[in-house]
Chain A
Amino acid sequence: MTVSLECAACADERAAGAAFCESCGRTLATGSPAGAGPQCQACGPAGAVDADGYCGTCGMLAARPRDHAEADSSPVAAAVTDRGLRHHRNEDAMWLAVRGADADAVVCDGVSASYDPDVASAVAAEAAGKVLAAGGDDLAGRIAEAITAAGAAVAELARTDPRRAASNPACTIVAACVRGTEVGYGWVGDSRAYWVPEQGEARQLTEDDSWATHAIALGVDPQSAWNDPKAHAITAWLGADAGPVRPRTDTLRPGEAGILVLCSDGLWNYLTEPAELASTVRAAVREAPDLISAARSLVTFANDAGGADNITVVLVPIHT
């Protein structure tokens, strides 16, 4: 779920910098679809797109709104999500809300092997985002509450449809809230948060709930662990079959300027080392005219590298 400039639901004026409607609480529309139109992208002028979104001639699906969406709250924060090149839909979802210099951000990645993973991620991002906006001063506690709410919302999906019940919709989550120079964050699964200072060593704040991370912790050689076909299998997720959700949370007071990065594995798969990721993020921010362009260029980087998965990235600069 992303946001735009004006609330379509109540048309109320939004507070400066807020990225969701503070009046009715609804998120402000999804990003605009890239390249969608009445004409089929696959067969050109011959094909008109029908009401259900498929070309009336060749049957190909026209672009969906979620294929590429952006949330631009520069200079406070910016986020981009993209279908990538190899998946038929974007099963990642994001939430970004800013108020003054404060920001709430969530990235969720649907588990492809489950049913309706795109719905799971959208529901989770929104549920978490709403709790973040409303919560108290204990940032880690607020994050835990948000992730727990997201887990409950995703678990609820399995109760609404027999097919969902048979193959529980599931997703990962990484959430952060930035209040001044303090950052609260937490996660379940393998979507990540990084701290990229302007100078010096970058840090991966999250530790994947994944087979590879687990194996490495038990002493398996990292290279062979990551080459294992099971490497990316996640060991914790949000969903009806996930058991009790135990989000890991923490807080960060950087003491130096830098950028908080949240992303799905569609980006970090091509930048497995924090140092690699940091230099790519720094280069993107340096070369782009604004924050949203920097986020966009990180998505382009992942697509140029193969775009094997959906890609989502959120950038939140933090000043000292």
Chain B
Amino acid sequence: MAYTAEAFQNEFLALGATEVNAIVTVTSSGAEGGRRTAGATEIIIVDCSGSMQAEGRMIAARQAAKAAVNCIDDGVRFAIVAGVSTAQQLFPAPGQLAVATPETRAQAVHAIDRLQANGGTAMGAWLKLAHQLFAQRPGDIQHAILLTDGENGEYKGYLESVLQEIGGSFTCDCRGVGTNWTVSELRKIATAMLGTVDIVARPQDLAAAFEQMMTAAMGKTSADVQLKVWTPVNSTIRFVKQVEPQMVDLTGKRIEDGPRAGRYPLGSWGSESRDYHVCVDVTAGAAGDEMLAARVSVVEGDVVHAQSLVRAVWTDDSALSARINRQVAHYTGQAELAEVIQAGIEARKAGDDRTATLKFGRAAQLAHQSGNKATEELLSTVVEIEDAETGTVRLRRRIEAADEMALDTRSTKTVRVGRGQ
């Protein structure tokens, strides 16, 4: 698998400056011929709580699960979990994983017809069962889809303790159908499990969403890629974030790895490209000093796939140090965009329309300036954008719950800027 890592930064710092920023673009051309270097296991978790009966959700969920099963490549292991007050394995026999063949897929599709909406919601238990099943296949690319329509019914703190225990051990993409689920809850799961979260407002769109997730999962060819970051003595890492295709703060996921280095999990990879923002505080140097502020490597186990250097050069030439790197500025703006949208949603829920208007105004401005059209469109379902340039907006009097949830879940989606300096 061929990876490249390239750093974009203004390495020149004014005398006394200590903050070093760089965007590192990691690109993988994927495995040769698209073949996986590891095996793969897929688990589909379908919420079967009583509420799924409403609005034809259960029927749509069955169709979606079938569509996903039909996207699983031959040879991939898979299982289907029915989510009720406990976790029940629907297919194959409890504790087993099926090997995908035309026959097992047909059997699974048949089994899915037995899914009935008549239980509770116990996401912690569902994830735990998935974890146990995945444990049979160490080294596999492990991916789960979790579908729910409501809030978790487990006692307070249980889900968190499960995530603490299993966080990062497999990838879990979370989807909420309808509008009775909580964005923050699913985001918590997706963040811990390095997956995505999104709303599927209309049940009839579920099948397409499942197909898309499963197809993306089948495109992953390596299981557990990590970003290793070395920094010099007396330096502190302010943050390591994935900034494209969506914002994910990886700072807290650091695992120490030898002197002055740590690893950050990047999950599974196919043929794709992602951007990371690394921010390090170092000790200031003298004019003309050049320091390696971070050595950023893409690693898989002991194999170093690619490496990129983040440098700091102190200069008294303010024309050099005042230069703003477009990549760094752009993603700093995208991070603020996600923050102000979430702050705006919080404020509106708390009845503080003034703060909400201010936050959404700033968001409209940032989305517009950075060319993030998708986010600008989502914003316009919540506020009337009078002047995006100045951030002048008015809260809409009637806001559809689905629109606000879509804005919330997709606030972390980012766009790229043209490359060059």
Binding site for B on A (CB under 8 A): 43, 52, 54-55, 57-61, 83-89, 112-113, 115, 162-163, 165-167
Contact assessment for A59 and B292 in the assembled complex, using a CB-CB cutoff below 8 Å: yes
Chain B residues positioned under 8 Å from A162 (CB to CB): 419-420
Contact of A61 among B292, B320, B420 (CB under 8 A): B292
Given the known inter-chain contacts A60-B291, A86-B288, please indicate yes or no for A113 contacting B232, CB distance below 8 A.
no
Contact of A84 among B233, B288, B313 (CB under 8 A): B288
Task: Give the CA-CA distance A166 to B326 in the complex, in Å.
Answer: 12
Task: Give 1 or 0 for each of B169-204: 1 = CB within 8 Å of chain A CB.
Answer: 000000000000000000000000000000000000
Contact assessment for A86 and B287 in the assembled complex, using a CB-CB cutoff below 8 Å: yes
Chain B residues positioned under 8 Å from A61 (CB to CB): 289-292
Contact assessment for B421 and A166 in the assembled complex, using a CB-CB cutoff below 8 Å: yes
Task: Give 1 or 0 for each of B300-326: 1 = CB within 8 Å of chain A CB.
Answer: 000000000100011111011000000
Chain A residues positioned under 8 Å from B260 (CB to CB): 57
Q: Please name the 9 residue pairs, one residue from A and one from B, whose CB atoms are nearest each other, closest first.
A: A59-B232, A54-B292, A166-B420, A61-B290, A59-B292, A88-B290, A166-B421, A88-B313, A59-B291
Measured CB to CB, the nearest residue on chain B to A89 is B290
Measured CB to CB, the nearest residue on chain B to A46 is B233
What 12 new A-B contacts, CB under 8 Å, besides A58-B234, A59-B292, A89-B290?
A: A43-B233, A59-B231, A60-B232, A60-B289, A61-B290, A85-B287, A87-B287, A88-B314, A112-B317, A112-B320, A113-B319, A163-B421
Contact of B288 among A59, A85, A113 (CB under 8 A): A85
* B293 close to chain A: CB less than 8 A: yes
Give 27 CB contacts A-B under 8 Å.
A43-B233, A52-B295, A54-B291, A54-B295, A54-B309, A55-B292, A57-B232, A58-B232, A58-B233, A59-B232, A59-B233, A59-B282, A60-B232, A60-B285, A83-B288, A85-B288, A86-B287, A86-B288, A86-B316, A87-B315, A88-B288, A88-B289, A112-B317, A113-B319, A162-B420, A165-B420, A167-B421
Given the known inter-chain contacts A61-B290, A83-B288, please indicate yes or no for A163 contacting B309, CB distance below 8 A.
no
Tell me the smallest distance from the CB of A109 to a CB of chain B, in Å.
14
Chain A residues positioned under 8 Å from B420 (CB to CB): 162-163, 165-166
Task: Give the CA-CA distance A140 to B290 in the complex, in Å.
Answer: 41
Task: Give the CA-CA distance A166 to B420 in the complex, in Å.
Answer: 6
Tell me the smallest distance from the CB of A82 to a CB of chain B, in Å.
12
Measured CB to CB, the nearest residue on chain A to B326 is A166
Task: Give the CA-CA distance A88 to B11 in the complex, in Å.
Answer: 11
